[in-house]
Amino acid sequence: MIQRKTLTMDEIEEEVRIMIEEGQKRTILVYGESPKTTADFIAETVKKVYSVKTEHGEIRRANINAAPMTVEDLEKLKKVGIGTFQVFQETYHHGTYRRLHPEGTIKGHYRWRLYAMDRAQEAGVDDNGIGVLFGLYDWRFEVMGLLYHTIHLEEKFNGVGPHTISFPRINPAIGTPYSEHPEYAVSDEDFKKLVAILRLSVPYTGLICTARESAKMRNEVIPLGVSQIDAGTRIGVGGYKKAKQANALPEKEQFSIGDNRSLDDVVSEVCDMNFIPSFCTACYRAGRTGEEFMKVAKSKFVHNFCIPNAIFTFKEYLQDYASEATREKGEAILNKHVEKFKGEPIYDTIINNLKRIEKGERDLRV
C-alpha cells in the first residue's frame, strides 16, 4: 500500500540541503491533488526551497508539477518565482480519459485540464510544460495531441509554445494493476521514433526523458533530440534523506525508476558521449521567459547563450561536487567545447568567466 504524506517545511529544507550537496541546481516539485496542497501552500514551499543555501550553492530554479489551477492561484505562484509550470494531459483521447478519471470530480474534467496552460499564460506564468503518459492510448494519437496542443499555444500566445514536452512511458506502480500490462504499451523502437518526431516537429522545445527509462534507453534517445534528463532522482516522499541513510523504500515510490544512478555517474556518462552536462538556469534568472525565451530559442542566437552558460555551470559542478574521475573527464570535454568558440566575440568572456569561477565566483552567466 502507498503511504501518503506531505512534507513539513523543516522536512523540505532537509531534502533540499541533500539535493544541493549532491550538486543539483534545479528541481521539480510535485504536488498531489489534495486539500492540503493549495496555491498558498505551494507558494510557501517554493519560498522555502529558494531560501536554503549551503557553502557551494542553492536551488536556482524550482519547477512545479501540480494540478490545474485558476488564474488567480497561478498569479500567486508567479509572485514567488516558480520556474516551468507542468500539467500533463496524461491522454488526449476523450474515451480513455473518461474511463481512467473519476467521473464528477475536478480531475475528470477533460477541458479544465486541457486549458491549464492557457490560464497559466493569462496569469503571466509563461514557461509551461506539457506531456503525455504513453501507454494509455495509441502513441501516434498522443503525439498528434501534443503537437496540436503546441500549435494552439503558439497561435494564441504570440508564438509561445511549450517550454518543455515530457513523454514518460507508463511504469509498474503499486496498487495499480493496469500499469503492469498496459493495453497500449510503447515498444522501445516506437519510443525512439516518437522522440525523433517530437524533436523534428518542435525544435525549440526542451524534450525531457525522465529516470523512468533505463540508462541504456536514455543513452539511445539523447542523440535523437532529448535535451533534458534528471539524475540522482528520488520520487518517494522524503526519498533523498532515506537514500542518504540507506536505499529509498519501494513502498514509498509512486512508480518504478529505471535509472537510479547518482548525479555524478550520469554526468560522467554524458561526458563519455561528448556532451556538456548543463546545470543552466540563466534564461530564467535573466528574465528570458515566455516570448523573450522563444525569440532566442527559435533563432541561431541561442548558441551564444546556451553553450557558454552550460560551460559555466558545468565548471561550477566540476569545481564543487564532482568525483576526481568525473572532474578529470569533465575538464577535457569542457576544454574541447570552449575551443569551438575560438575566434568568436564571446570567446574572451568565456575564458574570463572560467577563471573567475576557478577563483571562487559563482552564478556567472550571459
Question: Do both 285 and 175 map to the same domain?
Answer: no
Beta strand 85-86 with 228-229 is unpaired
Q: What is the pLDDT of residues 68-81, one digit of tens each?
A: 999 999 999 999 99
What pLDDT does residue 156 have?
97
Strand partners, 30: 65
Cα 285 from Cα 313, distance rounded (Å) = 13
What does the block give as the cell for 113? 485540464
Let me know: does 109 contact 67? Beta carbons within 8 Å.
Answer: no
Q: How many domains are contained in the chain?
A: 2
57, 89: one domain: yes
Shared domain check, 331 and 185: no
Q: What is the CATH number for 216?
A: 3.20.20.70
Read off the pTM. 0.91
Residues of the chain with pLDDT under 70: 1-4, 172-175, 234-256, 301
CA–CA distance, 85 with 318 (Å, rounded to integer):
29
178 Cβ neighbours under 8 A, 6+ residues apart: 100
Residue whose C-alpha cell is 498558498: 40
Task: Count other C-beta atoms under 10 Å from residue 146's C-beta.
Answer: 25
Report the share of the chain in percent with pLDDT over 90. Answer: 72
Within 8 A by CB and 6+ apart from 152, the residues are none
- Tell me, yes or no, whether 167 and 245 share the same domain: yes
- Coil vs helix vs strand at 271: helix
Name the nearest CA neighbour of 12 among 1, 27, 34, 22.
27
Per-chain mean pLDDT for the chain = 90
Could you give the CA distance from residue 342 to residue 229 in angstroms, rounded to a whole number?
29
Same domain, 147 and 209: yes
Question: For the segment 199-236, what is each residue's pLDDT rounded down to a tens digit?
Answer: 999 999 999 999 899 999 999 999 999 999 998 876 65
Q: Mind listing the pLDDT tens digit for each residue in 275-300?
A: 999 999 988 888 888 898 888 888 87
Q: Are residues 86 and 226 in the same domain?
A: yes
User: By residue range, what is the domain housing residue 173?
Assistant: 9-261
Residues 249 and 326 in one domain: no
